[in-house]
C-alpha cells in the first residue's frame, strides 16, 4: 500500500516529532508551518502571529504498519486537547492544537476519536482541538528539524519547563 501523510499541530513542533518518530512504519516527521495565508513563512513571522500559520508536524507513514487511528491516539497523548489558544507555555494561534486531515477518511477517524475522547470523561473541560482540512505545509528551517536529536539537553529542559511533561504524565500515563 502507498504511504500516506498526516499533519498535526500540538504546540511547539520540537515536542511533536519524537513521539511519532519512534513508531514503526513512520518514514519521516517534518516540522513546519500550515493553516495560514503567507507563503514560505519564517519561524519569526509565524511567531509574530501575523501569518495565520500554526507550528505543526507532517508525518509520512505506512498505514499497513501504523494506521492513522494509532497516529491520532499518539497525537492526543502529546497535547492538552482542552486548550484552544496554545499548548502549555506556548500561547497564541501559532501554537493551537489542530488535526489537519488529508482525506475524508482521516476526517471521519479524527472526528470519531475526538467524540470518543469527549465522551470518555478523561477531562473535565470540553475537547476543543480543531479538525480542519490540510493546506500547504511549509517545512521549517533546518535547525528546527529533529531538534530532539540535535540538542537533546535543550529539548529535555524545554519539555520539562514548558509544563508539557507534567501535564502528559498526570493526564495520559
12 in active site: yes
CA distance 80 to 127: 9
9, 12, 59, 134: the active-site residue: 12
Q: Where are the beta strands (DSSP E) in the chain?
A: 4-9, 26-34, 54-61, 86-87, 90-91, 98-101, 130-133, 137-139
CB–CB of 80/170 below 8 Å? no
CA distance 154 to 157: 5
* Alpha-carbon separation of residue 39 from 7, 33, 163 (angstroms): 18, 10, 32
Could you give the residue numbers annotated as active site? 12
Amino acid at each position: 500500500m502507498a504511504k500516506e501523510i498526516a499533519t498535526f499541530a500540538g504546540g511547539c513542533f520540537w515536542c511533536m516529532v519524537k513521539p511519532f518518530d519512534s513508531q514503526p512504519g513512520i518514514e519521516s516527521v517534518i516540522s513546519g508551518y500550515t493553516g495560514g495565508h503567507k507563503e514560505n513563512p519564517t519561524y519569526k513571522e509565524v511567531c509574530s502571529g501575523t501569518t495565520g500559520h500554526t507550528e505543526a508536524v507532517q508525518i509520512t507513514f505506512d498505514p499497513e504498519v501504523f494506521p492513522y487511528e494509532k497516529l491520532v491516539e499518539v497525537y492526543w497523548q502529546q497535547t492538552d486537547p482542552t486548550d484552544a489558544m496554545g499548548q502549555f507555555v506556548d500561547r497564541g494561534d501559532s501554537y493551537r492544537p489542530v488535526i489537519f486531515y488529508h482525506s475524508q477518511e482521516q476526517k471521519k477517524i479524527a472526528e470519531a476519536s475526538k467524540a470518543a475522547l469527549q465522551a470518555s470523561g478523561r477531562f473535565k473541560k470540553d475537547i476543543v482541538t480543531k479538525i480542519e482540512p490540510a493546506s500547504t505545509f511549509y517545512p521549517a528551517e533546518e535547525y528546527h528539524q529533529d531538534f530532539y536529536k540535535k540538542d537533546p539537553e535543550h529539548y529535555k529542559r524545554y519539555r520539562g519547563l514548558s509544563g508539557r511533561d507534567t501535564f502528559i504524565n498526570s493526564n495520559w500515563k
